[in-house]
């Protein structure tokens, strides 16, 4: 399988909080049975969705949509977000009803353990402050987190546990997609990282005088492999950030120019190369299995979800829905 490049950006806790509370803003799957409900904005098998609940979730959806964007929300986008938000609530209720039918629940211990895992690594008070930023109470956040855990448990027990991938399927995929299992050229590289460009230039001049690269790495480099003389081992082409692509064009014993990144100033030396080759079935089996399993589980989930939606009695009051903007 082709390796993905390293992403040098991180996800903020605020974005994570909005994601957990809003449960995503994917493409809407379409509202079913648009007929007037007897109360609230909609009913799902007799369970009412109040105007207040939809309004609160819609406000959060708009906040999530605006993260990283400066564009205003036009009428079309407002309608899209409102429709999608209602669909999210409808599906959440359907999942809760299915979980009850299958006697599936989430314990307080499971909820507490997941909450601690999410909060782990953040300074004291950061988590609570982030909740304030997105205007979500701790109780509401816990409720949404519990729902997500319940849905995950439901899908695992009712859908995913019934999906299997055979060895024959793995072998067939491997034989039919040889282009996916090519190993790119690999280089063994030594690496020096410093925070000042002037120091990087001095290191380049020392290397021009045949000073040992590994000695300079041990003396000056701030990279994790400095104690090993800057030895990064073998690296496959395409697995490092784009800034480092020129390193793969160096000949053996070649030294790179100074490469600047947000982390500082980098100098590389290539000490060995291995040509591109084809991966064996044994090397590829685990990746193929994971890919086929994910695809099969996704298909099984969509089929299962379509089934419970078709069997559900979903009523929507369009007049009440129109009040939200």
pLDDT one-digit tens code per residue, 231-255: 999 999 989 999 999 999 999 999 9
Mean pLDDT in residue range 67-94: 84
Residues facing 267 on adjacent strands = 192
Closest CA to 84 of 321, 290, 323, 245: 321
Residues facing 188 on adjacent strands = 234, 272
Answer yes or no: are the C-beta atoms of 160 and 300 closer than 8 Å: yes
Mean pLDDT in residue range 60-70: 71
Closest CA to 269 of 202, 210, 197, 185: 210
pLDDT of residue 134: 67
Q: Which domains does the chain have, with CATH numbers?
A: 13-164+313-321 (1.10.4030.10), 185-275 (3.10.50.40)
* Sole residue written with tokens 């009440």: 320
Task: Tell me the percentage of the chain whose pLDDT exceeds 90.
Answer: 63
Answer yes or no: are the C-beta atoms of 49 and 41 closer than 8 Å: yes
Segment holding 236, helix H or strand E: strand 231-236
Question: Which two structure tokens, joined as six digits, stand for 91?
Answer: 């599906």
* CA–CA dist 152, 154 (Å, integer): 5
CB-based contacts of 325, cutoff 8 Å, min separation 6: 78, 82
pLDDT of residue 225: 94
CB-based contacts of 27, cutoff 8 Å, min separation 6: 84
CB-based contacts of 201, cutoff 8 Å, min separation 6: 258
Query: Long-range CB contacts (< 8 A, 24+ apart) of 298-304?
Result: 300/159, 300/160, 300/162, 300/163, 301/155, 301/159, 301/160, 304/158, 304/159
Q: Would you say residue 22 has pLDDT above 80?
A: no
Tell me: the pLDDT tens digits for 149-175? Answer: 999 999 999 999 999 999 999 999 999
- Mean pLDDT taken over the chain: 85
Mean pLDDT in residue range 201-225: 95
* CA–CA dist 99, 23 (Å, integer): 18
When pLDDT is cut at 50, 70 and 90, the band that residue 321 belongs to is: confident
* CA–CA dist 146, 107 (Å, integer): 9
């Amino acid at each position: 399988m082709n390796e993905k490049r390293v992403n040098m950006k991180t996800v903020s806790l605020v974005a994570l909080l909005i994601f957990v509370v809003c449960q995503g803003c994917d493409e809407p799957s379409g509202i079913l049975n648009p007929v007037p409900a007897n109360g609230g904005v909609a009913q799902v098998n007799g369970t009412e969705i109040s105007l207040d609940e939809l309004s609160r979730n819609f406000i959060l959806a708009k906040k999530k949509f605006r993260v990283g964007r400066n564009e205003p929300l036009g009428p079309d986008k407002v309608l899209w977000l409102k429709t999608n938000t209602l669909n999210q609530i409808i599906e959440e209720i359907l999942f809760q009803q299915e979980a009850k039918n299958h006697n599936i629940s989430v314990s307080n211990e499971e909820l507490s353990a997941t909450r601690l895992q999410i909060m782990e690594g953040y300074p004291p008070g950061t988590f609570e402050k982030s909740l304030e930023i997105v205007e979500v109470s701790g109780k509401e956040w816990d409720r949404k987190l519990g729902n997500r855990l319940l849905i995950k448990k439901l899908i695992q027990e009712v859908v995913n546990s019934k999906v299997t991938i055979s060895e024959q399927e793995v072998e067939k995929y491997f034989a039919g997609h040889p282009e996916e299992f090519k190993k790119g050229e690999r280089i063994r590289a030594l690496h020096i990282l410093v925070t000042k460009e002037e120091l990087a230039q001095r290191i380049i001049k020392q290397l021009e005088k045949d000073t040992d690269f590994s000695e300079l790495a041990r003396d000056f480099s701030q990279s994790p492999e400095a104690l090993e003389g800057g030895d990064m081992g073998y690296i496959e082409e395409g697995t490092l950030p784009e800034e480092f692509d020129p390193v793969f064009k160096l000949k053996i014993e070649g030294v790179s120019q100074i490469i600047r990144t947000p982390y500082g100033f980098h100098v590389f030396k290539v000490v060995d190369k291995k040509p591109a080759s084809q991966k064996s079935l044994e090397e590829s089996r685990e990746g193929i299995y994971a890919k086929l399993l994910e695809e099969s589980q996704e298909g099984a989930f969509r089929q299962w979800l379509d089934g419970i939606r078709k069997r559900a009695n979903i009523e929507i009051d369009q007049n009440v829905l129109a009040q939200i903007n």
